[in-house]
Amino acid sequence: KITRLVATTTSAPAAQSLAVKVRRAADAEDNIFVPLVNKGDVLPASGQLQLKSGAMLKAGMAGYIGFEVFQVEVPDRVDLNLCIGLLRIEGADLPPDLVIRIGDPIIFGWHMSAGGVLRASVTLPESNNLVLPTKHFYAPQAAEISYNGEEGHAFTQAILARAQEEWGDLAAAVGPNAGPDLALLKARIEEQNEILEESRGDAEAVRRISEEARFIRQEAARIEAKHQSAVLQRRLGKVVAAYNRIGRGRAEESDNKIFDDLSMRAQKIIDSQHESTHAAARLCLSQMRRLFLSVAWGNPAYVEAWFDRLAKDSWLYADKAAFAAMLAEGAALREKSDHDGLRTLVEKMLEARLSLGASDTVNDLATVVRG
């Protein structure tokens, strides 16, 4: 439920559409956007989102409930939109003995000034309308990414590589059925790569290239939406191949059966060619990926491969001292063959890195659920 109030003082139109990332339902495996303001809405404006907790949080314990605010340009693909703010309520923020349980109502109050400044509050109706402190607010990339020097070049090069990879997947899935659109996208990627090589040392030019790469990915998503069956077939093939290569031999027989049942269900849905069932196919794929990761993370070689990959990409870490400390810790854990410790460290490194998409947690399930 959304409640919105619009002020009548000095006003200005909203320059962008903003929304909060939420889980569709408590048992859902996908995220959606719940809008705050739409582009052109009159500011200042205020409102409340009636949400539910999607995670359990106990006073003094680790964990958090997060509210991610996005600038929305591609409503159907959360990962292609820009995260402009992340508000976290942590266990340390709760009064002693307080527990937020899954399904508990949460009110996300917000106010946007005429100048576009967003303020937020979090209230727990079932705890005597307790207003929680909102001291953990992050702007995921605005203050972290530097486009100067070799690291700015490497970061933008990686974003273009991601766009190229997504273009390749789309081309393999759709083939000539996409018409000239795919060829135009490829030309744009190649052009941006050429401009990047000519723009070393020009931080503003490099920043513009990273923005253009995001726009290219958004355009690819629009093409993808027209060819969902082919795209889903491609994704199904990739996750099955990855599971067979890395996970199947280490998994329990029961896990293999669950994976295969999901695969057959997804294939049947895709074969039906009914657009209305695509969401069910995506849910199967999400469950298959989650099962794959749960098995793969139990493989020490898989974890070590991730550590080696992250260790090479120093440009992904804004805090160089913390990055160096993590590398030293990883080397020590390897020396001791502490596989559990290395797995925990790699998870920490994944959380600490800068994002090539919208935010580092963009593909994680939201910790709040639509009310």
Span 319-333, pLDDT tens digits: 788 889 999 999 999
Q: Six-digit token pair at 321?
A: 């001292």
- What does pLDDT average to over the chain? 85
At CA 177, angle to CA 171 and CA 180, rounded to 5? 75
Q: Can you tell me the mean pLDDT for 150-173?
A: 88
Among the listed residues 51, 74, 63, the one whose alpha carbon sits nearest the alpha carbon of residue 120: 51
* Residue 150 bridge partners (DSSP): none
**What ranges in 243-319 are assigned the alpha helix state H?**
253-272, 278-296, 300-311
What residues contact residue 45 under an 8 Å CB cut-off, 6+ apart? 4, 5, 6, 7, 14, 37, 111, 112
Report d(CA 239, CA 287) in Å as an integer. Answer: 11
- The SS3 assignment for 342 reads helix
**Quick one: pLDDT band at residue 15, thresholds 50, 70, 90?**
confident
- How long is the chain? 371
Q: Six-digit token pair at 319?
A: 């805090």
Over pLDDT 90: what percentage of the chain? 39
Name the residue with higher pLDDT: 116 or 259. 259
Which amino acid is present at 272?
Answer: S
Report d(CA 53, CA 107) in Å as an integer. Answer: 10
Exposure string of 135-162, with b = 16+ CB inside 10 Å and e = fewer, is eeebebbeeebebeeebbbebbbbbbeb
User: Are residues 69 and 18 in contact, defined by beta-carbon separation less than 8 angstroms?
Assistant: yes
Q: What is the pLDDT of residue 137?
A: 58
Report d(CA 213, CA 356) in Å as an integer. Answer: 10
Report d(CA 358, CA 123) in Å as an integer. Answer: 27
Instruction: Please measure the distance between the N-terminal and C-terminal CA atoms of the chain and give it in whole angstroms.
Output: 6
User: Are residues 90 and 59 in contact, defined by beta-carbon separation less than 8 angstroms?
Assistant: no
Q: What is the pLDDT of residue 175?
A: 83
Q: Can you tell me the mean pLDDT for 360-367?
A: 66
Which of 43-52, 125-134, 310-319, 320-329 is predicted with the least confidence, judged by mean pLDDT? Answer: 310-319
Q: Six-digit token pair at 188?
A: 């744009």
Q: What is the pLDDT of residue 141?
A: 46
Q: What is the pLDDT of residue 136?
A: 54
Among the listed residues 88, 92, 100, the one whose alpha carbon sits nearest the alpha carbon of residue 60: 92
Which of 66-70, 103-107, 238-242 is predicted with the least confidence, judged by mean pLDDT? Answer: 66-70
Span 286-318, pLDDT tens digits: 889 889 988 888 889 999 999 999 998 887 776
**Quick one: pLDDT band at residue 254, thresholds 50, 70, 90?**
very high
Span 179-205, pLDDT tens digits: 788 899 999 999 999 999 998 888 889
Report d(CA 341, CA 352) in Å as an integer. Answer: 17
At CA 173, angle to CA 281 and CA 250, rounded to 5? 60
pLDDT at position 368 over 80 = yes
Name the residue with higher pLDDT: 199 or 86. 199
Which of 13-17, 138-142, 303-307 is predicted with the least confidence, judged by mean pLDDT? Answer: 138-142
- In order, the DSSP letters of 115-127 are T--EEEEEEEGGG
Q: Six-digit token pair at 313?
A: 């990409």
Q: What is the pLDDT of residue 146?
A: 66
**Quick one: pLDDT band at residue 359, thresholds 50, 70, 90?**
very low
Give the orientation angle of helix 320-335 with respect to helix 339-352, to 10 degrees. Answer: 160
pLDDT at position 357 over 60 = no
Name the residue with higher pLDDT: 169 or 87. 169
- In order, the DSSP letters of 244-259 are IIIITTTS-HHHHHHH
Among the listed residues 59, 137, 136, the one whose alpha carbon sits nearest the alpha carbon of residue 91: 59
Question: pTM for the complete prediction?
Answer: 0.64
